[in-house]
Amino acid sequence: MKVRVTNLKGPWPTGAKVGDVVAFDGEAVPAWAVGKCIMVPDDVSEAFHYEPKVVTGGGYDRAHQAREAAIQDAFGDLRAERDQALQQLESAQAALATALDREAGLQHQLDEALAAAAGPVAKTRTDLNAEAEKLGIKVDGRWSDERLAEEIAKAGKK
């Protein structure tokens, strides 16, 4: 059977263009060619002969399977890398938590040592006045902080 190409959408032979005559084996055009060509008499010379591309199951399937296997291997490698990175992250987080706990303990020790080295904290005049008032001490405004502290100490012993 021979046809004249009217539409190039389809697997026409390489180099075929609109207006070329293509010969098909058999008595009917393939389903993909319906509406894309018109029949011509058998005595018209053809420019091309259509030979369907036969895909052997083995070659295509093997290539497809090989590609799928490569993709699966790549995903497996990525999963392993991710899992290793997550383990490293967890280990680093545990080490950080331990270091932060250690830092907090050392800071507490440092604060205690600094407080011990500084001795008793000197009270402000406001603190001394408030304490004297609680103890009922009548404060003379001319007293020094030391005198006021002494009076508070005396009142505290009573």
At residue 54 the predicted structure's pLDDT band, cuts being 50, 70 and 90, is low
Q: In this predicted model, what pLDDT tens digit does every residue of 122-151 receive, in sequence order?
A: 788 999 999 999 999 999 989 999 999 999
* Same domain flag for 96 and 62: yes
Encoded tokens for 64: 């497809």
* Same domain flag for 86 and 69: yes
* Same domain flag for 16 and 61: no
At residue 107 the predicted structure's pLDDT band, cuts being 50, 70 and 90, is very high
81 and 58 Cβ atoms separated by less than 8 Å: no
Task: Print the domain residue range for 12.
Answer: 1-53
Encoded tokens for 57: 């199951």
At residue 61 the predicted structure's pLDDT band, cuts being 50, 70 and 90, is confident
Residue 119, SS3? Answer: coil
Interatomic CA distance for residues 1 and 28, integer angstroms: 7
* Same domain flag for 61 and 117: yes
At residue 89 the predicted structure's pLDDT band, cuts being 50, 70 and 90, is very high
Residue 18, pLDDT score = 95
Residue 69, SS3? Answer: helix
* Same domain flag for 64 and 46: no
* Same domain flag for 48 and 59: no
Q: How many domains does the chain have?
A: 3
At residue 59 the predicted structure's pLDDT band, cuts being 50, 70 and 90, is low
* Same domain flag for 104 and 62: yes
